[in-house]
Structure 1
Amino acid sequence: MDFDDLLAAQRGVVSRAQALAAGFTVDRIKWLVRSLRWQQVHAHTFATFTGSVPYEAQVWAAILRAGPGAVASHRTAAHLDGLCDDPGPVIHVTIPADRYVGGKIDGVRVHYAHRLPRTRHPAATPPRTRVDETVLDLVDVATHPRDAETWVTAACQRRLTTPERLADALGRRKKIRWRPMIEAMLADVADGAQSPLELRHLRRVERAHGLPTGRRQRRSAGHRVIWIDVDYPEHHLRVELDGRVGHAGEGRFRDHHRDNHATVDGHATLRYGHADIFGNPCTVAAEHARVLRTRGWTGRPRSCGPSCPVPMIIKETGRQDAMPLS
């Protein structure tokens, strides 16, 4: 590869070793920097242009500074692959565990991995870890289980990977944080739960209270295709779980049209947000149970714990329904 092709591939960034191999001398490189034709990004790493350094060029500079075998990883790789919209303030690179990067690299965090030859993407540029491995790297450094859930569900929701592929990658790791939770979650994601909100509804509302299992992310075709978050088709009940994205402005009007259309077709719609599902799952379960029972469900909800009010709420509701009208 000639020097111009190398620069094009690396977004205009080059290491001193690459420049020397292309025929530049040390004095020539110093003059280019002093004359502001090139700019030094890190030690022995240069942008061969003036002005601001674009993000991908910054990533290339971090990789070249970290040395042979280095790849973008963690949140940096996630951003490059479209897994997250915000790359964060630090560029993450991973290098083989048998190497060591001396000195601090400003704005760069260096990770070390024994399995890097197997987790590196074979063709992506800038070099980075495979998507499945990126997700699991982020899970491994997550400090809260909800953060780990978010990475897994986002990767599947954005169709960057599948629960099956993540499970395969997880099986090849000897050590990883949150393993039992991730193994259980992948099964739930495979059943249609596409966000931490939907996982919470499945586990803390439905399962914890013995409610029927809804069909998740069901495609309903009519005049226009709609997706139903949770559907109980036998009881003509739909549940919509509203995150902050897609449910403001035009999204809110689409929700109203969808709810109205469902009502016309004889379906009831219950709608909840994060505060409901994470803050009051028992109250949500009680509302589900009330509506389901009026629509033919013959089961009875159960308590999820000593302080759960669901059985008492349902019992009191039954008494009120049985009271004669005066």
Structure 2
Amino acid sequence: MGEDLNREARLLQARVNGQSGLLTRAQALDAGISPDRLRWKVKSGRWLTMQPGVYLTEPGRRGWEVQAVAALLFVGRPSALSGISAAHAWGLVRDPGAAIEVLVPYGRRQSARPGIVTRRSRHFDTRVDPDAWPHRTTVEHTVLDLARERDLDGAIALVARACQRRMTDELALLAALAERPTQSGRALLVEALSDMPRGAHSVAEVRYVRDVERAHGLPTGIGQEPGPRGTHRDRAYAELRLIVEVDGRRGHQGWLGQQADGRRDRRSAAGGWLTVRVFWVDVANTPCELALELGAICQSRGWTGQLRACRRGDCPVLHVA
């Protein structure tokens, strides 16, 4: 008898440990805790009510994960974190948002609860990661869910972050995107994802490839080309011995970053390479003018091709081509 009680206590503790210190009323009653004892634990402050019927058995243990798991336990199975909550759980964003976002299967009814936003999906089974805890949507569908709420640059930044951290890759994201024919900005996302295997790994680089290089008929560079001493070049044009470094919104960080850039440029110059640095304002605000400048540089280094005007009505290349 005593061994059975100890075993049940161990099983209950294991469940609590696996649920961030949380326990539901049903789980407590199933474990043999009487309703009177349950009320006493809450009234005495030994347990803290996080949601109706969901208790924190370790009141000193707080934090976002506890709130997220409490929301999932309140909603009940099957359910999973989604949207900004899933992104925070994956480590893709720092701010978890004001409410816990939860996904449930389509057709399921759910009581409204302050601090919990519940969404229904016909694709619940295919969009939830089977192994992650707390339960949440896959990295790919989490990224695409958030991309719907952001502008193109914000969406690309999120995609690039997930790929750079090796949490997913372009092919997996494209496969997930294929399941979403009504995804907003779908065509541009497909284009951006198609550029990433070519080495465009940031918002600025994707824009450079799309709006400067490809749109104006510049030579096709190779992204993330290995350079001297383990460095990588943003965009390399081997036949022209030309490197284009695309610095993002904030440029490289501080004095140390500038020093590293300078050393890399000097090592490349020693090998006969010319390094040209372009910045976010160049790529985002004046891509056509940047294309003109780079076209002239490429031609000075032996390129025999011809620039072409992009689709912008005021593209200055139109007047010099």
TM (norm. structure 1) is 0.88
Rounded to whole Å, the distance in 2 between the matches of 1:184 and 1:137 is 18
Distance 1:12 1:166, change over 3 A: same
Rounded to whole Å, the distance in 2 between the matches of 1:32 and 1:249 is 57
Corresponding residue for 2:124? 116
Letter in 2 for 1:152: V
Q: Deviations over 1:278-299 (max 9, x none)?
A: 1111221122112111111112
Corresponding residue for 1:319? none
Letter in 2 for 1:136: L
Aligned residues of 1:66 and 1:101 also touching (Cα < 8 A): yes
Corresponding residue for 1:283? 289
Corresponding residue for 1:214? 221
Corresponding residue for 2:237? 232
Rounded to whole Å, the distance in 2 between the matches of 1:39 and 1:278 is 51
Corresponding residue for 2:183? 176
Structure 2 matches for 1:249-264, cutoff 5 A? Answer: 249-264=255-270
Corresponding residue for 1:189? 196
Corresponding residue for 2:314? 307
Aligned residues of 2:21 and 2:61 also touching (Cα < 8 A): no
How far has the Cα of 1:234 moved from its partner? 0.9
Indicate which of 122, 133, 137 corresponds to 1:129: 137
Aligned residues of 2:68 and 2:100 also touching (Cα < 8 A): yes
How far has the Cα of 1:116 moved from its partner? 0.9
Rounded to whole Å, the distance in 2 between the matches of 1:27 and 1:180 is 59
Unaligned runs of 5+ in 2: 1-9
Structure 2 matches for 1:1-326, cutoff 5 A? Answer: 2-51=11-60, 53-106=62-115, 108-139=116-147, 141-220=148-227, 222=228, 224-243=229-248, 244=250, 247-304=253-310, 305-310=312-317, 312=319
Say which SS state the counterpart of residue 209 (structure 1) adopts. Answer: coil
Unaligned runs of 5+ in 1: 316-326
TM (norm. structure 2) is 0.89
Q: Deviations over 1:103-135 (max 9, x none)?
A: 2232x2222111111222111111111212212
How far has the Cα of 1:81 moved from its partner? 2.1
Moved over 6 A (4+): none
Distance 1:249 1:109, change over 3 A: farther
How far has the Cα of 1:174 moved from its partner? 4.5
Between 1:259-268 and 1:224-233, the stretch displaced more is 259-268
Between 1:196-205 and 1:151-160, the stretch displaced more is 151-160
Distance 1:308 1:83, change over 3 A: same
Corresponding residue for 1:318? none
Aligned residues of 1:83 and 1:160 also touching (Cα < 8 A): no
Cα RMSD, aligned residues only: 2.0
Rounded to whole Å, the distance in 1 between the matches of 2:145 and 2:318 is 42
Rounded to whole Å, the distance in 1 between the matches of 2:257 and 2:26 is 53
Distance 1:47 1:164, change over 3 A: same
Letter in 1 for 2:15: L
Rounded to whole Å, the distance in 2 between the matches of 1:57 and 1:229 is 41
How far has the Cα of 1:173 moved from its partner? 3.1
Aligned residues of 2:265 and 2:275 also touching (Cα < 8 A): yes
Say which SS state the counterpart of residue 121 (structure 1) adopts. Answer: coil
Task: Give % identity.
Answer: 36
Query: What is the count of residue pairs matched by the alignment?
Result: 310
How far has the Cα of 1:232 moved from its partner? 0.9
Letter in 2 for 1:149: I
Rounded to whole Å, the distance in 2 between the matches of 1:310 and 1:63 is 56
How far has the Cα of 1:75 moved from its partner? 2.0
Rounded to whole Å, the distance in 2 between the matches of 1:89 and 1:263 is 51
Letter in 1 for 2:54: T
Between 1:183-192 and 1:287-296, the stretch displaced more is 183-192
Letter in 2 for 1:121: D
Say which SS state the counterpart of residue 123 (structure 1) adopts. Answer: coil
Rounded to whole Å, the distance in 2 between the matches of 1:4 and 1:149 is 43
Distance 1:174 1:291, change over 3 A: closer
Letter in 2 for 1:236: R
